[in-house]
Structure 1
Amino acid sequence: RGLLNRREKGSFFITEERSRRALLVGAAADVVRVEGLLRGVWGYPITIAGAVMPPPEPGDPQPQAPWAGPPEQLAALIGLYRADEIIFCQGDYESGQILDQMAQLAERTLRFKIAPPGRDFLIGPQNILTAGGDSGALALNQPGPRRAKRWLDRLVSGLLLTTFPLLFWAYRRPGMAARGLWRSLLGQATLVGYSGGGEGLPPLRPGLLSPLDRLPSPATSLSQDALDQAYARDYHWTQDLDLLLRAWRRIGHQNKG
């Protein structure tokens, strides 16, 4: 089917059986870069319905796609432009903002993809679509980020265990939360791990939370593998801290640690 798709449409994207209507979301420069890749080397079978970005100003790069509206109106623009796919152009648009908007749109039947900054690949619902070349070093392969992650595990686990007698009632499963925090403190678990198995990614201890815990319901439009790839590639300890501030009560809600 892939060869047939290539012959008829000039594309090897087996998972895309028909052209979809997509909105590109991000800053102007990032949208222009991703649009060029989509229309060029990727040959991705979509119709770009519009660009969702801040109002254009003189001197800003302009995409070929029409300006649809600002990112804060994305939910309304999806219906207006009959979009069934959202491509987040990461750059000035950070991972936290992307996940927050995905959470707001979780109940809709949409496909989400993320185009990382300065990289020639697109994280899709079940795979990573590349334009060739090196996908770049993963941050979690570097000693500095791994060391920072371990120190954050120790500090936050110690703090949460110290306050546990006062806050145990706030956890969904207090017993499992206490066990997981002790394991994190001892280096047998990590506070934030992968959503899935993390195949092919830098190894991590079992996680008490994962990037999926940002979302109010299971993410069906973006696979666990895609979230884990983004997490490993762009890791910074502040991402873990932000997630913990949002979701610490969920520690222990699943038997991960």
Structure 2
Amino acid sequence: MLAPMSGCDHAAMTVPTPGVPNWVDLATSDLGGAIRFYTELFGWTAEVSGDDFGGYTTFLLNGLPVAGAGPLYGEGQPTTWSTYIATDDADLIAARVAATGGKVLVAPFDVMDQGRMAAFLDPSGAPFSVWEGGMMRGAEVFDVPGALTWNELNTRDVDGALNFYGAVFGWTFRETAVGGLPYLLCDNLYQPVAGVQPMIGAGWTDDVSPYWLVYFAVGDCDVAADHTFALGGRILSPPTTIAIGRYAVLADPQGAIFAVLAGRR
């Protein structure tokens, strides 16, 4: 429920750039279990907020915020990781979402003095959020082991996604390939900030809804996958080598999907 990733060099940052994914957080059915899992997997420490924030937990890497976690807030809400995109005007983004075929799930609201957030569905149904930073600007470290390194939209409607996110955030797009499959890079101010993975081929079943996948950097992808399994998680897509490094898609013990990447972003 909080929010930063800015520019191309994310090793340490202070001011998030609008249009750049700058925070991720986990909504989970077992907050205590999630804290145990992720602190062990990534070496995070957990800072639990007071009652004013409903026990929202900020994960720290070497004392710097990298991600958050909180309990499920509504019946039927899935255990999942959420991507937040930085903005300097959450209300303007909400208006653009509504005007471009998306859905405003949670209208912009203030999170005390921490910032302002809103939650949406894109036209294909993929959920995402925005964060307008206040006292809390978002993550303060990226692209090092244990920190956020990439955000990727998995969608069956690529053309619709390009039209939507281009209109909402001003992104432009470049075609490329990953592992021999089509892939698109989302550019913000001429820098790649996210990716779009077409949900094509036998690996995508009809029951998988479009979603944003979060990637955390690791020093060794195979070790991270094995560690995930040993901690009670699952390996959904085993370690695979691509041009930029080696990645795997995993799930925590409560079922939240995430990916790890060892290599250059």
TM-score after normalising by structure 1? 0.24
The higher radius of gyration belongs to 1
Q: Higher helix share goes to which structure?
A: 1
Pick 1 or 2: higher relative contact order, CA cutoff 8 A, min separation 6. 2
TM-score after normalising by structure 2? 0.23
